[in-house]
Amino acid sequence: MTARLWQLTESRQPSASTLSDLPGEQGPPIPVPDQTPLYHALGQPRYARQQQIRAIEDRTGRRLICYVAGPNTSISSFDIPPFVDLLDDVHDGEHLDLMLHTPGGDVDQAERIVLLCRKKVGSGSFHVVVPDGAKSAGTLIAIAADEIVMGYPSELGPIDPIVFITTPGGEQMARPAQSFLDGLEEIVQQTGGGALSPAYFPLLDKLDPALIDFCRKALQRSEQFAERFLGQYMLKADPEKAKVVAKELNDVKKHLSHGAVIDAQRAQAMGLRVTYLEPDNDLWQAYWRLYCEMRLALTGPERRLFESRRASLLV
Protein backbone atom coordinates (compact mmCIF):
# COMPACT_ATOMS: atom_id res chain seq x y z
CA MET A 1 0.00 0.00 0.00
CA THR A 2 2.78 2.43 0.93
CA ALA A 3 4.72 1.53 -2.19
CA ARG A 4 1.62 2.06 -4.34
CA LEU A 5 0.92 5.49 -2.76
CA TRP A 6 4.52 6.47 -3.37
CA GLN A 7 4.22 5.41 -7.00
CA LEU A 8 1.07 7.52 -7.46
CA THR A 9 2.71 10.52 -5.85
CA GLU A 10 5.81 10.01 -7.95
CA SER A 11 3.76 9.92 -11.15
CA ARG A 12 2.24 13.31 -10.31
CA GLN A 13 5.55 15.07 -9.96
CA PRO A 14 6.34 17.41 -12.93
CA SER A 15 8.99 16.12 -15.25
CA ALA A 16 12.03 18.15 -16.20
CA SER A 17 10.52 18.90 -19.61
CA THR A 18 7.29 20.19 -18.01
CA LEU A 19 9.23 22.47 -15.67
CA SER A 20 11.02 24.02 -18.60
CA ASP A 21 7.78 24.48 -20.61
CA LEU A 22 7.28 28.08 -19.48
CA PRO A 23 5.21 30.69 -21.39
CA GLY A 24 7.12 31.99 -24.38
CA GLU A 25 9.60 29.12 -24.34
CA GLN A 26 7.80 26.22 -26.07
CA GLY A 27 4.95 25.58 -28.53
CA PRO A 28 3.87 27.37 -31.73
CA PRO A 29 4.05 31.18 -31.77
CA ILE A 30 0.89 33.14 -31.00
CA PRO A 31 -0.17 35.30 -33.98
CA VAL A 32 0.22 39.01 -33.29
CA PRO A 33 -1.72 41.56 -35.42
CA ASP A 34 0.28 44.12 -37.35
CA GLN A 35 -1.66 46.94 -35.68
CA THR A 36 -0.86 48.32 -32.25
CA PRO A 37 -2.99 46.78 -29.45
CA LEU A 38 -5.29 49.78 -28.91
CA TYR A 39 -5.75 50.45 -32.63
CA HIS A 40 -6.59 46.77 -33.19
CA ALA A 41 -9.09 46.81 -30.31
CA LEU A 42 -10.82 49.90 -31.75
CA GLY A 43 -11.09 48.26 -35.17
CA GLN A 44 -12.05 44.79 -33.93
CA PRO A 45 -15.63 44.86 -35.34
CA ARG A 46 -14.22 45.75 -38.75
CA TYR A 47 -11.60 42.98 -38.61
CA ALA A 48 -14.29 40.48 -37.60
CA ARG A 49 -16.47 41.49 -40.58
CA GLN A 50 -13.52 41.19 -42.93
CA GLN A 51 -12.82 37.70 -41.61
CA GLN A 52 -16.43 36.82 -42.42
CA ILE A 53 -15.96 38.21 -45.94
CA ARG A 54 -12.92 35.96 -46.40
CA ALA A 55 -14.87 32.96 -45.08
CA ILE A 56 -17.68 33.62 -47.57
CA GLU A 57 -15.15 33.97 -50.39
CA ASP A 58 -13.65 30.60 -49.41
CA ARG A 59 -17.16 29.08 -49.47
CA THR A 60 -18.16 30.50 -52.88
CA GLY A 61 -14.80 30.71 -54.66
CA ARG A 62 -15.74 34.27 -55.65
CA ARG A 63 -14.63 37.74 -54.54
CA LEU A 64 -17.07 39.69 -52.37
CA ILE A 65 -17.42 43.46 -52.02
CA CYS A 66 -20.14 45.16 -49.99
CA TYR A 67 -22.10 48.41 -50.17
CA VAL A 68 -24.57 48.91 -47.32
CA ALA A 69 -26.27 52.32 -47.08
CA GLY A 70 -28.59 53.96 -44.57
CA PRO A 71 -32.20 54.96 -45.35
CA ASN A 72 -31.40 58.65 -45.92
CA THR A 73 -28.67 58.08 -48.51
CA SER A 74 -28.75 58.28 -52.27
CA ILE A 75 -26.45 56.69 -54.83
CA SER A 76 -24.35 59.55 -56.23
CA SER A 77 -20.94 60.44 -57.63
CA PHE A 78 -19.78 60.47 -54.00
CA ASP A 79 -19.88 56.64 -54.11
CA ILE A 80 -17.52 56.20 -57.06
CA PRO A 81 -14.10 56.65 -55.34
CA PRO A 82 -15.00 54.15 -52.56
CA PHE A 83 -16.09 51.64 -55.20
CA VAL A 84 -12.76 52.10 -56.99
CA ASP A 85 -11.06 51.32 -53.66
CA LEU A 86 -13.13 48.15 -53.21
CA LEU A 87 -12.27 46.94 -56.71
CA ASP A 88 -8.55 47.70 -56.34
CA ASP A 89 -8.03 44.33 -54.66
CA VAL A 90 -10.03 42.40 -57.28
CA HIS A 91 -7.97 40.85 -60.06
CA ASP A 92 -9.09 41.34 -63.66
CA GLY A 93 -11.32 38.48 -64.76
CA GLU A 94 -12.22 37.28 -61.24
CA HIS A 95 -15.80 36.28 -60.50
CA LEU A 96 -17.32 39.05 -58.40
CA ASP A 97 -20.22 39.32 -55.94
CA LEU A 98 -21.59 42.65 -54.74
CA MET A 99 -23.61 42.67 -51.52
CA LEU A 100 -25.99 45.59 -52.02
CA HIS A 101 -28.39 47.41 -49.73
CA THR A 102 -29.60 50.86 -50.83
CA PRO A 103 -32.82 52.90 -51.11
CA GLY A 104 -31.71 54.04 -54.60
CA GLY A 105 -30.40 57.24 -56.15
CA ASP A 106 -28.97 58.63 -59.38
CA VAL A 107 -29.44 56.35 -62.41
CA ASP A 108 -26.32 57.70 -64.12
CA GLN A 109 -24.13 56.92 -61.09
CA ALA A 110 -25.73 53.48 -60.76
CA GLU A 111 -24.62 52.84 -64.33
CA ARG A 112 -21.09 53.97 -63.47
CA ILE A 113 -21.00 51.44 -60.61
CA VAL A 114 -22.18 48.67 -62.93
CA LEU A 115 -19.58 49.59 -65.55
CA LEU A 116 -16.80 49.68 -62.94
CA CYS A 117 -17.70 46.16 -61.80
CA ARG A 118 -18.15 44.89 -65.34
CA LYS A 119 -14.77 46.25 -66.49
CA LYS A 120 -13.05 44.52 -63.58
CA VAL A 121 -14.92 41.23 -64.09
CA GLY A 122 -14.31 41.08 -67.84
CA SER A 123 -15.13 37.54 -68.96
CA GLY A 124 -15.91 36.50 -65.38
CA SER A 125 -19.40 36.55 -63.88
CA PHE A 126 -20.98 39.30 -61.78
CA HIS A 127 -23.60 38.53 -59.14
CA VAL A 128 -25.50 40.91 -56.85
CA VAL A 129 -26.45 39.67 -53.37
CA VAL A 130 -29.50 41.43 -51.91
CA PRO A 131 -29.78 40.59 -48.20
CA ASP A 132 -32.47 43.19 -47.50
CA GLY A 133 -33.47 45.85 -50.07
CA ALA A 134 -32.01 47.13 -53.33
CA LYS A 135 -34.63 49.63 -54.44
CA SER A 136 -35.00 51.95 -57.43
CA ALA A 137 -31.48 52.58 -58.81
CA GLY A 138 -30.35 49.69 -56.58
CA THR A 139 -32.68 47.41 -58.55
CA LEU A 140 -31.09 48.69 -61.76
CA ILE A 141 -27.65 47.65 -60.45
CA ALA A 142 -29.03 44.24 -59.45
CA ILE A 143 -30.64 43.45 -62.81
CA ALA A 144 -27.39 44.43 -64.57
CA ALA A 145 -25.78 41.36 -62.97
CA ASP A 146 -25.65 37.87 -64.43
CA GLU A 147 -27.58 36.62 -61.41
CA ILE A 148 -29.25 37.99 -58.28
CA VAL A 149 -28.98 36.14 -54.95
CA MET A 150 -31.93 36.68 -52.60
CA GLY A 151 -33.39 35.29 -49.38
CA TYR A 152 -36.77 35.53 -47.69
CA PRO A 153 -36.37 39.20 -46.48
CA SER A 154 -34.88 40.38 -49.80
CA GLU A 155 -36.68 42.83 -52.05
CA LEU A 156 -36.21 44.72 -55.30
CA GLY A 157 -38.52 47.47 -56.48
CA PRO A 158 -39.87 49.41 -59.47
CA ILE A 159 -37.25 51.38 -61.42
CA ASP A 160 -39.29 54.48 -62.25
CA PRO A 161 -37.16 57.49 -61.25
CA ILE A 162 -37.81 60.01 -58.49
CA VAL A 163 -37.69 63.75 -59.24
CA PHE A 164 -37.39 66.65 -56.82
CA ILE A 165 -39.90 69.47 -57.24
CA THR A 166 -40.56 72.75 -55.44
CA THR A 167 -44.08 73.22 -54.10
CA PRO A 168 -45.92 76.56 -54.38
CA GLY A 169 -44.87 77.15 -50.76
CA GLY A 170 -41.19 76.75 -51.65
CA GLU A 171 -40.83 73.30 -50.06
CA GLN A 172 -38.64 70.64 -51.72
CA MET A 173 -40.47 67.35 -52.28
CA ALA A 174 -39.48 64.06 -53.92
CA ARG A 175 -42.05 62.53 -56.25
CA PRO A 176 -42.07 59.67 -58.78
CA ALA A 177 -41.67 61.12 -62.26
CA GLN A 178 -44.68 59.20 -63.59
CA SER A 179 -46.89 60.41 -60.73
CA PHE A 180 -46.00 63.98 -61.59
CA LEU A 181 -46.93 63.44 -65.25
CA ASP A 182 -50.14 61.61 -64.29
CA GLY A 183 -51.14 64.48 -62.00
CA LEU A 184 -50.55 67.00 -64.76
CA GLU A 185 -52.56 64.87 -67.19
CA GLU A 186 -55.44 64.77 -64.73
CA ILE A 187 -55.47 68.58 -64.56
CA VAL A 188 -55.59 68.74 -68.36
CA GLN A 189 -58.49 66.27 -68.49
CA GLN A 190 -60.44 68.16 -65.84
CA THR A 191 -60.09 71.32 -67.88
CA GLY A 192 -61.65 69.77 -70.95
CA GLY A 193 -63.24 72.52 -73.02
CA GLY A 194 -64.14 74.64 -70.01
CA ALA A 195 -62.39 76.92 -67.57
CA LEU A 196 -59.63 75.69 -65.29
CA SER A 197 -60.33 75.75 -61.56
CA PRO A 198 -58.54 78.69 -59.85
CA ALA A 199 -57.21 76.18 -57.29
CA TYR A 200 -54.65 75.04 -59.88
CA PHE A 201 -53.35 78.53 -60.71
CA PRO A 202 -50.60 78.67 -58.02
CA LEU A 203 -49.29 75.24 -59.09
CA LEU A 204 -49.27 75.98 -62.82
CA ASP A 205 -47.78 79.42 -62.26
CA LYS A 206 -44.62 77.80 -60.87
CA LEU A 207 -44.56 74.90 -63.32
CA ASP A 208 -41.34 74.62 -65.30
CA PRO A 209 -42.04 73.13 -68.75
CA ALA A 210 -38.51 71.69 -68.71
CA LEU A 211 -39.51 69.57 -65.71
CA ILE A 212 -42.18 67.83 -67.76
CA ASP A 213 -39.62 66.99 -70.42
CA PHE A 214 -37.15 65.87 -67.73
CA CYS A 215 -39.71 63.49 -66.19
CA ARG A 216 -40.49 61.88 -69.53
CA LYS A 217 -36.84 61.44 -70.39
CA ALA A 218 -36.02 60.11 -66.91
CA LEU A 219 -38.61 57.35 -67.37
CA GLN A 220 -37.18 56.50 -70.79
CA ARG A 221 -33.66 56.49 -69.31
CA SER A 222 -34.53 53.93 -66.61
CA GLU A 223 -36.27 51.63 -69.05
CA GLN A 224 -33.43 51.84 -71.58
CA PHE A 225 -30.90 51.09 -68.82
CA ALA A 226 -32.84 47.98 -67.79
CA GLU A 227 -33.37 46.78 -71.35
CA ARG A 228 -29.71 47.33 -72.28
CA PHE A 229 -28.14 45.43 -69.39
CA LEU A 230 -30.78 42.68 -69.23
CA GLY A 231 -30.30 42.09 -72.96
CA GLN A 232 -26.52 42.09 -72.59
CA TYR A 233 -26.24 39.77 -69.60
CA MET A 234 -29.04 38.20 -67.56
CA LEU A 235 -31.47 37.73 -70.46
CA LYS A 236 -29.05 37.80 -73.36
CA ALA A 237 -30.58 34.61 -74.77
CA ASP A 238 -33.97 36.36 -75.08
CA PRO A 239 -33.73 40.07 -76.06
CA GLU A 240 -37.52 40.34 -76.42
CA LYS A 241 -37.94 39.12 -72.85
CA ALA A 242 -35.47 41.81 -71.75
CA LYS A 243 -37.74 44.47 -73.26
CA VAL A 244 -40.82 43.04 -71.55
CA VAL A 245 -39.15 42.84 -68.12
CA ALA A 246 -37.70 46.36 -68.43
CA LYS A 247 -41.13 47.75 -69.29
CA GLU A 248 -42.79 45.89 -66.43
CA LEU A 249 -40.25 47.15 -63.89
CA ASN A 250 -40.86 50.72 -65.11
CA ASP A 251 -44.67 50.41 -65.12
CA VAL A 252 -45.89 52.60 -62.26
CA LYS A 253 -49.52 51.94 -63.10
CA LYS A 254 -48.96 48.26 -62.43
CA HIS A 255 -46.95 48.65 -59.21
CA LEU A 256 -48.86 51.76 -58.01
CA SER A 257 -46.10 52.57 -55.51
CA HIS A 258 -42.42 53.37 -56.07
CA GLY A 259 -41.72 51.36 -52.92
CA ALA A 260 -43.65 48.27 -54.04
CA VAL A 261 -42.04 44.99 -52.96
CA ILE A 262 -40.65 42.63 -55.58
CA ASP A 263 -39.52 39.60 -53.61
CA ALA A 264 -37.52 36.65 -54.91
CA GLN A 265 -40.53 34.68 -56.08
CA ARG A 266 -42.06 37.64 -57.89
CA ALA A 267 -38.71 38.50 -59.47
CA GLN A 268 -38.40 34.93 -60.74
CA ALA A 269 -41.94 35.05 -62.11
CA MET A 270 -41.07 38.22 -64.02
CA GLY A 271 -38.23 36.35 -65.70
CA LEU A 272 -35.22 37.58 -63.72
CA ARG A 273 -32.46 35.07 -62.97
CA VAL A 274 -32.69 34.79 -59.19
CA THR A 275 -31.06 32.23 -56.90
CA TYR A 276 -33.16 31.89 -53.75
CA LEU A 277 -31.37 30.73 -50.60
CA GLU A 278 -33.50 29.12 -47.90
CA PRO A 279 -33.29 30.61 -44.37
CA ASP A 280 -31.33 27.61 -43.03
CA ASN A 281 -28.84 27.60 -45.91
CA ASP A 282 -25.33 28.10 -44.50
CA LEU A 283 -24.40 30.64 -47.18
CA TRP A 284 -27.56 32.67 -46.58
CA GLN A 285 -26.85 32.60 -42.83
CA ALA A 286 -23.35 33.94 -43.51
CA TYR A 287 -24.66 36.73 -45.77
CA TRP A 288 -27.34 37.73 -43.28
CA ARG A 289 -24.99 37.79 -40.28
CA LEU A 290 -22.49 39.90 -42.20
CA TYR A 291 -25.24 42.28 -43.33
CA CYS A 292 -26.58 42.66 -39.78
CA GLU A 293 -23.14 43.56 -38.48
CA MET A 294 -22.69 46.09 -41.29
CA ARG A 295 -26.06 47.70 -40.56
CA LEU A 296 -25.09 48.04 -36.90
CA ALA A 297 -21.82 49.68 -37.96
CA LEU A 298 -23.74 52.54 -39.61
CA THR A 299 -23.74 55.33 -37.04
CA GLY A 300 -26.59 57.25 -38.64
CA PRO A 301 -29.22 57.09 -41.42
CA GLU A 302 -26.99 59.21 -43.71
CA ARG A 303 -23.99 56.90 -43.45
CA ARG A 304 -22.84 54.19 -45.85
CA LEU A 305 -20.31 51.40 -45.50
CA PHE A 306 -18.04 50.11 -48.26
CA GLU A 307 -16.18 46.94 -47.30
CA SER A 308 -14.12 44.10 -48.74
CA ARG A 309 -11.56 41.70 -47.28
CA ARG A 310 -9.00 44.49 -47.53
CA ALA A 311 -10.78 47.88 -47.69
CA SER A 312 -13.24 49.37 -45.21
CA LEU A 313 -14.73 52.85 -45.62
CA LEU A 314 -17.50 54.24 -43.41
CA VAL A 315 -18.61 57.58 -44.86
286 pLDDT more than 80: yes
pLDDT of residue 4: 40
CATH class of 41-157+261-314: alpha beta
Q: pLDDT tens, 122-152?
A: 999 999 999 999 999 999 999 999 999 999 9
* 102 or 3: which leads in pLDDT: 102
In sequence order, the 6+-apart residues with CB closer than 8 A to the CB of 88 are: 310, 311
Residues 113, 165, 178: CA angle, nearest 5 degrees: 70
147: β partners: 127
Contact by Cβ (8 Å): 187, 200: yes
15 pLDDT more than 50: no
User: What gap in Å lies between CA 116 and CA 109, rounded to an integer?
Assistant: 10
The CA–CA distances, whole Å, from 244 to 15, 32, 238, 248 equal 80, 56, 10, 6
Helix (H/G/I), strand (E/B), else coil: 222: helix
pLDDT of residue 251: 86
Q: pLDDT tens, 17-33?
A: 444 555 556 778 888 88
Q: pLDDT tens, 58-89?
A: 999 999 999 999 999 999 999 999 999 999 99
Q: Go through the chain and tell me how many residues it has.
A: 315
* 41 or 10: which leads in pLDDT: 41
Confidence class for position 257, pLDDT limits 50, 70, 90: confident
Give the helix/strand (H/E) hosting 244: helix 239-249
Q: pLDDT tens, 194-245?
A: 554 554 444 555 555 666 666 777 788 889 999 999 999 999 999 999 999 9
Residues 64, 68, 71: CA angle, nearest 5 degrees: 165
**What are the residue boundaries of the structural domains of the chain, listed by start?**
41-157+261-314, 162-210
DSSP state of 168: T
In sequence order, the 6+-apart residues with CB closer than 8 A to the CB of 121 are: 93, 94, 95, 96
- E strand segments, 195-262: none
